[in-house]
Structure 1
């Protein structure tokens, strides 16, 4: 067995873990103990599956480390499936369909269904990325398209008018897209304005800092490196804790579509 944190053998303490798994409701995954998964096409990569339908999600989230000369020449994505590739660390050469891009930390590529994403690490240093895939829900008269950008170059905007809670949006406000991705950042002591309850589900990867997250009215401590799944109608909100570093996470959201009966 190969582990995400590369720690094997006996520990010097009790076997404990902060993960909480309540399938079809919410999940917190502590990176300690998560395994590396083998998936065809990912060469010289360490890849861990995070959220998935087996937890109750309608999507799949991944965390992948692309080592020097790591690549995917088979392509990530398939017909009917939309994907997102978000670079957390490093430099990477990426191809979406026939278009090539050089991306750095904060760079992302959204691929509509049927457009595969390929990548290669020529930098000589390891890179790290967050990936997402989901079956696209079509809307007559609209076609999604490739979107690229870099969150490091984006301006923060106030989240619901709050000075100490800021957000960045990945995708344009366009009905062609049935999902979006955001980074939400809280200054220490800041919080959501209220406990949210909604039909949208989220997969969230914690980028910085520490927080206390309300998940279905259970207050759970979270920190950088943790993964959170929130199902539809799961009560949710958080406070940022800690002394200096902002608490921030990248997350997905389904949107712009009616409910199918």
Structure 2
């Protein structure tokens, strides 16, 4: 059923999948169906490409498993491209500019356009990363800067005043940045206050728990390890179920007008 759960070869049951792909609208991509992609620069890594412009996104998301000694010494990023790295599990050593960063679970690194990041596995086992890249939309006289830290250091904000839904913002709320990364966490039974409809798009990787998610007015069960793409104007909302906190990391474009 996939390389992530080491369940390959002949199936013992019917071929089936929970995945849903509606290009330009939304997608649910489950871990059982993920395949490895060979990408220059990634050595001793299992790389899966998630959202891309082929799906309807303006960004690219990746799920990367670094084996012992694995990493990217060539550099992730390009002229005009901003990048973001989040450590799902394990530990890595990352470099950007003249700085070196030791990042453990919950650690992150944002690099502004044109600045490449490199990284290597720093654990004895495997480490897993969530990677993001997007072409930066600039504003005259303004520019973003490199940001790094750990989720343990981020402010826990009550989402729209709800004490059982917690938001954490990774990047400054400044117009220099045209996107942000967040973690949204729902206690069991907690939900969005309403079904959202907006021009911004998301790529969301579920870090823990289980939930029900409204995707274009279809309620879909989701759980840890699933990935969701939500396109512009795709109706969206969720709530946590079960006994564990339902949380996910997600991107959101922001601080820019619409070009016509």
On the 8 A contact 1:107/1:151 being kept in 2, the answer is yes
Mapped to 2, the partners of 1:76 and 1:156 lie a distance apart of 30
User: 5+ residue gaps in structure 2?
Assistant: none
| 1:122 shift after superposition | 3.3
On the 8 A contact 1:76/1:118 being kept in 2, the answer is yes
On the 8 A contact 1:213/1:236 being kept in 2, the answer is yes
Identify the residue that residue 81 of structure 1 maps to in structure 2: 81
1:71-220 → structure 2 map (5 Å cutoff): 71-220=71-220
Alignment RMSD: 1.0
Are residue 254 (structure 1) and residue 256 (structure 2) matched? Answer: no
| 1:120 shift after superposition | 1.3
CA-to-partner distance for each residue in 1:14-37, whole Å, 9 max, x for gaps?
111000000010000011021010
TM-score scaled by length of structure 1: 0.97
Mapped to 1, the partners of 2:60 and 2:121 lie a distance apart of 23
Are residue 52 (structure 1) and residue 44 (structure 2) matched? Answer: no
On the 8 A contact 1:105/1:152 being kept in 2, the answer is no
Mapped to 2, the partners of 1:142 and 1:153 lie a distance apart of 26
On the 8 A contact 2:154/2:170 being kept in 1, the answer is no
Are residue 240 (structure 1) and residue 226 (structure 2) matched? Answer: no
On the 8 A contact 2:92/2:120 being kept in 1, the answer is yes
SS of aligned partner of 1:69: strand
Mapped to 1, the partners of 2:155 and 2:111 lie a distance apart of 23
SS of aligned partner of 1:74: strand
Mapped to 1, the partners of 2:87 and 2:195 lie a distance apart of 30
CA-to-partner distance for each residue in 1:134-167, whole Å, 9 max, x for gaps?
0000001101110001002323110000011001
SS of aligned partner of 2:152: helix
On the 8 A contact 2:26/2:228 being kept in 1, the answer is yes
Moved over 6 A (4+): none
On the 8 A contact 2:155/2:169 being kept in 1, the answer is no
On the 8 A contact 1:4/1:48 being kept in 2, the answer is no
SS of aligned partner of 1:110: strand
Identify the residue that residue 64 of structure 1 maps to in structure 2: 64
CA-to-partner distance for each residue in 1:218-245, whole Å, 9 max, x for gaps?
0010000000000000000011111x20
TM-score scaled by length of structure 2: 0.98
| 1:204 shift after superposition | 0.2
On the 8 A contact 1:4/1:33 being kept in 2, the answer is no
Mapped to 2, the partners of 1:20 and 1:196 lie a distance apart of 20
Mapped to 2, the partners of 1:122 and 1:202 lie a distance apart of 30
On the 8 A contact 1:63/1:129 being kept in 2, the answer is yes
Mapped to 2, the partners of 1:74 and 1:181 lie a distance apart of 24
SS of aligned partner of 1:53: coil
User: 5+ residue gaps in structure 1?
Assistant: none
Identify the residue that residue 16 of structure 1 maps to in structure 2: 16
